[in-house]
Structure 1
Amino acid sequence: MPTDLPLDTPDERSFLPGLGLGEQGLRLKTLVRLRWLAVAGQTAAVMLVHWLLGFDLPVGWCLAAIALSAWLNIFLTLRWRGNLVTDRNAALLLGYDILQLALLLYLTGGLQNPFAFLFLVPVTVSATSLPIKWTLFLGALAFVCASFLAYDHLPLPWFAEAPLELPTIYIVGMWTALVSGVVFSAIYARRIAEEARQMSAALSATELVLAREQRLSALDGLAAAAAHELGTPLATIALVAKELKRELPQGGHTGEDIDLLISQAARCREILSRLANRDTPADAILAQAKLPVMLEDIVAPLRGSDVIIAVDAHAADDGKPKREGEPVFERNPAITYGLGNLIENAADFATTRVDVEARWSANDITITVRDDGPGFSQDIIDRLGDPFVTSRKGYGPGDSGDAAGRHEGMGLGFFIAKTLLERSGAQVALANRTYPDHGASVRISWPRMRIDVALRKP
């Protein structure tokens, strides 16, 4: 089968940075650019007021405060090579901006200065990008600075012959408006940013699902092609095996091996036949089966090797009265293939035994497949379920197969099984068995109302 599937989609994990809806952080470049904008604006305002309008103000101190911000930007650009800054450092830099603005306002009239509204900017920036504790810290700092400037500041630059004296009630109103604006802007900006992160997370999740569906559709087309292409070689294998059986003497291990070869070829042809005729309608009664019966049907073709496959299916002992009977499943090819693949994988890796345990309650149906093999490798357990991730021999670079005779693997079977089961509404969880037991454990669970046909009947 060709392996060059059209799987050139981004890594699934790259879709998930916002799924936890955590904070996104601030880039140093953003903070530096905002401060350069503030430096340019503050410089222009001071020069306009002092040299163009002719108002008297401590221009030296004002330019010194502005130059400090410029030097800080230069230092950060040269010294800090990273792109993202930590939340704490970002909050400290924004806190510096509040203090620097407070110093300029102190030199130029306090809350009488119309530029006092700029206290909103650092708090709003924090609300969109930093955790709430740092936003509260910056909001409190802006509140303290505004309260101080309401009562203590140098005179507002104005005409010397007619000094401007604003009434106290106006200053109180300015303070109230400023504090209200800081609180409202922070809450509003944070809410909008949170909704944007949620939309981004939803889009990422949708892209992830679409990518998995695209991969599965590609594999579906390959399966149809394989069903067509493999028919002839399988017929040839079956014919040659029957000819060998007639020519070789009866009995002995050779005859048993040939019989096994013929039976497995027949099984392959049956599987290909189901692939080619999966749209054929089936009888409604035969299309349903109770869970224990369905499991036995799946396990039956896998028995006959040295590995024991035991099925244990009964209601969960949760201390509640058992009112529901055995769950009834539709004979869904997706569920049948998914469970069959997981059980077959467990049998391949098991040493002596595979346990298939099914439990159901009023709300849930759970199937657990355990084996006594080596278990999942810690190197790939987090990536199992992705295409071409496998611990089998024979597919990795320089790998030529398992000397023990177990078949080679491409890592597609588990990906297809997991995806098909999840499409049926199941949750698939992987784990290694706890000490002193050893081996792998796969847990598949459904909400009973979604999967049990008996509960859907009127």
Structure 2
Amino acid sequence: MAINTDIVSIRQGASAFDETNVLNETGHKNMLHLIHLRWLAVGGQIATILVATWGLNIQLPLFQMLSVMVCLIAFNIGSHLRWHEERVVSNRELFLAMLVDIASLTAQLYFTGGINNPFVFLFLLQVILSAVLLRSESTWLVVGITTLCLAFLSVFNHPLVLPLNSTYKLADLYASGLVICFVLNAALLVIFITRIGRNLRAGDATLAALRQRAAEEEHIVRMGLLASGAAHELGTPLATMSVVLSDWKRMPQFANNADMLEEIEEVESQLIRCKSIVSGILLSAGETRGESSAKTTLHDFFEDLVQEWESSRPAQHFEFNNQVEEEFTVAFDSTVKQMVFNVLDNALEVSPNWLRFDVSKNQEHLFLTVTDQGPGFRADILEQVGTPYNSSKGRPGGGLGLFLVMNVARTLGGSVQARNCSEGGAEVRIVLPLSSLVVQDGNLENQAR
């Protein structure tokens, strides 16, 4: 029970770490959106200054406004350089970035009429973005800060002065600016809220997948502990049965009876197979030695694997095709053999007359493909292949085979693909990265790590 608790705690810790990484990645994408929005703000400020100065002949404090804009551009360049390399963005860093935007907007409004400037409603954009991007406490801080900025601008500001010969009235300019501000707010909200919402939905989907994976891995741990315990318990009765069978073979009444001796040998061979299965369970759990990886060659491993499987299964027509021409040293975990056995056993169950096992590779991956001539996967089974108890066999505990195969492959950095063949039957392909299998310079210890 203590071991079980420790393992589950480790799994939960790893899951929490993965969830934190997903949240940070979502925050990074949102920070990039803020940087893009800031560039649009700079472009909008330049356009507004040009229209007000050249089109309306309004005298603006250009030096002060351009100084604010230069500071904003410098901050945005620095942000781009930092967040291009740094992937972890916290809520605090998003909050500080939004404070810079609020300060920049407040400064520009201070020099252009304060609260009488229709673009003061751009503060609403900051509040809405903070509600989407930040935690609730940070959002309320933004609400408080923008309110203080509005109060400040209502008292302290540089009023806009229209030229005496201007054909525009201040009320008309305010109404036009209000319309432009509304269009800007609406367009920016649609564009960026859509993007941010897409980021948040993608992050939620990734978190859901990680939590599902953590639940599946915890399920595997519990099954592994149960299987390991059962293997230990079975060791003693199997050894006793082996001793009894050896004694029977030496007894005259059995030794002189050819039929009985043949049956005893058959039972003994099945007993040896049971002991091999139990040893494989313990070996996969790492309980019989420190490391469960074995150094061998690719061709030898699969030749031995096929020979062992074919000698103990009633396959009528089994084809093995090794398409890997070059030979190299690999470190295969014992679970790889069990994983392939599992897929072959499933294929043999639905297609006892014919099945094929292909081994191939490209520059980066090793492909283990099992093809059968069975009825294929049902559509609903194929959509959720690799999930526990997802089986069409209808028996208790069914559907764990591909579930275990999927998780072993994922542990090795690979994946499992399943599909129905156009000519009938099904194909299951295990994809494993060569980098996690091939031994470089004979260094098995480092490779196993």
User: TM-score, structure 1 length as denominator?
Assistant: 0.53
Instruction: Give 3-state SS (helix, strand or coil) of 2:192's partner.
Output: helix
Instruction: Give 3-state SS (helix, strand or coil) of 1:388's partner.
Output: coil
Provide the residue aligned with 2:227 in structure 1. Answer: 223
Instruction: Give 3-state SS (helix, strand or coil) of 1:366's partner.
Output: strand
Instruction: Give 3-state SS (helix, strand or coil) of 1:287's partner.
Output: strand
Instruction: Give 3-state SS (helix, strand or coil) of 2:381's partner.
Output: coil
Distance 1:232 1:299, change over 3 A: same
Instruction: Give 3-state SS (helix, strand or coil) of 1:188's partner.
Output: helix
Distance 1:328 1:344, change over 3 A: farther
Distance 1:432 1:256, change over 3 A: farther
Provide the residue aligned with 2:175 in structure 1. Answer: 171
- How many angstroms does 1:434 deviate by? 2.5
Q: 2:431 aligns with which of 445, 451, 455?
A: 445
Partners of 2:294 and 2:334 within 8 A in 1: no
Provide the residue aligned with 1:298 in structure 2. Answer: 305
Distance 1:221 1:359, change over 3 A: same
Partners of 1:312 and 1:356 within 8 A in 2: yes
User: How far apart, CA to CA, are the structure 1 residues paired with 2:428 and 2:231?
Assistant: 29
Partners of 1:449 and 1:455 within 8 A in 2: no
Distance 1:450 1:354, change over 3 A: same
Provide the residue aligned with 1:208 in structure 2. Answer: 212
- Give deviations 1:195-217, integer Å, cap 9, x for gaps: 32232122112212211110111
Unpaired segments ≥5 residues, structure 2: 1-7, 9-115, 133-168
User: How far apart, CA to CA, are the structure 2 residues paired with 1:282 and 1:169?
Assistant: 80
Distance 1:279 1:183, change over 3 A: same
Amino acid in structure 1 at the alignment position of 2:307: A
Distance 1:327 1:168, change over 3 A: farther
Provide the residue aligned with 1:411 in structure 2. Answer: 399
Q: How does 1:357-396 map to 2 (within 5 A)?
A: 357-378=358-379, 380-392=381-393, 395-396=395-396
1:262 maps onto 2:268 in alignment: yes
Distance 1:205 1:381, change over 3 A: closer
Distance 1:339 1:415, change over 3 A: same
Partners of 2:282 and 2:288 within 8 A in 1: no
Provide the residue aligned with 2:342 in structure 1. Answer: 341
- How many angstroms does 1:227 deviate by? 1.1
Provide the residue aligned with 1:272 in structure 2. Answer: 278
Distance 1:382 1:168, change over 3 A: closer
- How many angstroms does 1:311 deviate by? 2.0
User: TM-score, structure 2 length as denominator?
Assistant: 0.54
User: How far apart, CA to CA, are the structure 2 residues paired with 1:228 and 1:360?
Assistant: 38
- How many angstroms does 1:279 deviate by? 4.5
Distance 1:282 1:312, change over 3 A: farther
Distance 1:429 1:258, change over 3 A: farther
Instruction: Give 3-state SS (helix, strand or coil) of 1:390's partner.
Output: coil
- How many angstroms does 1:257 deviate by? 4.4
- How many angstroms does 1:274 deviate by? 4.3
- Give deviations 1:261-317, integer Å, cap 9, x for gaps: 212211222332344453455799x922222221222222222344143321123xx
Instruction: Give 3-state SS (helix, strand or coil) of 2:348's partner.
Output: helix
Unpaired segments ≥5 residues, structure 1: 1-6, 8-111, 129-164, 316-321, 397-408
Amino acid in structure 2 at the alignment position of 1:439: G
Amino acid in structure 2 at the alignment position of 1:223: A
User: How far apart, CA to CA, are the structure 1 residues paired with 2:391 and 2:368?
Assistant: 23
Distance 1:414 1:167, change over 3 A: closer
User: How far apart, CA to CA, are the structure 2 residues paired with 1:192 and 1:228?
Assistant: 53
Q: How does 1:217-256 map to 2 (within 5 A)?
A: 217-242=221-246, 245=249, 246=251, 247-248=253-254, 250-252=257-259, 255-256=261-262
- How many angstroms does 1:166 deviate by? 5.2
Distance 1:185 1:391, change over 3 A: closer
Which has the larger share of helix? 2
User: How far apart, CA to CA, are the structure 2 residues paired with 1:374 and 1:239?
Assistant: 44
Instruction: Give 3-state SS (helix, strand or coil) of 1:289's partner.
Output: strand
User: How far apart, CA to CA, are the structure 2 residues paired with 1:243 and 1:381?
Assistant: 51
Q: 2:420 aligns with which of 422, 432, 441?
A: 432
- How many angstroms does 1:340 deviate by? 1.9
- Give deviations 1:324-378, integer Å, cap 9, x for gaps: x335431212322211211232233332233111111223221111223343345
Distance 1:354 1:454, change over 3 A: farther
Partners of 1:372 and 1:440 within 8 A in 2: yes
Instruction: Give 3-state SS (helix, strand or coil) of 1:420's partner.
Output: helix
Amino acid in structure 1 at the alignment position of 2:433: P
Q: 2:185 aligns with which of 178, 181, 184?
A: 181
Instruction: Give 3-state SS (helix, strand or coil) of 2:363's partner.
Output: coil
- How many angstroms does 1:240 deviate by? 4.8
- How many angstroms does 1:455 deviate by? 8.9
Instruction: Give 3-state SS (helix, strand or coil) of 1:331's partner.
Output: strand
User: How far apart, CA to CA, are the structure 2 residues paired with 1:332 and 1:309?
Assistant: 24
Partners of 1:327 and 1:360 within 8 A in 2: no
User: How far apart, CA to CA, are the structure 2 residues paired with 1:374 and 1:238?
Assistant: 40
- Give deviations 1:80-131, integer Å, cap 9, x for gaps: xxxxxxxxxxxxxxxxxxxxxxxxxxxxxxxx9x9x979x99xx89xx8xxx
Partners of 2:409 and 2:431 within 8 A in 1: no
- Give deviations 1:360-418, integer Å, cap 9, x for gaps: 1223221111223343345534344222333447x35xxxxxxxxxxxx7433332222
- Give deviations 1:54-87, integer Å, cap 9, x for gaps: xxxxxxxxxxxxxxxxxxxxxxxxxxxxxxxxxx
Partners of 1:354 and 1:369 within 8 A in 2: yes
Partners of 2:343 and 2:402 within 8 A in 1: yes
Distance 1:343 1:391, change over 3 A: same
Provide the residue aligned with 2:294 in structure 1. Answer: 287
User: How far apart, CA to CA, are the structure 2 residues paired with 1:311 and 1:455?
Assistant: 30
1:313 maps onto 2:343 in alignment: no
Distance 1:412 1:261, change over 3 A: farther
User: How far apart, CA to CA, are the structure 1 residues paired with 2:334 and 2:372?
Assistant: 24
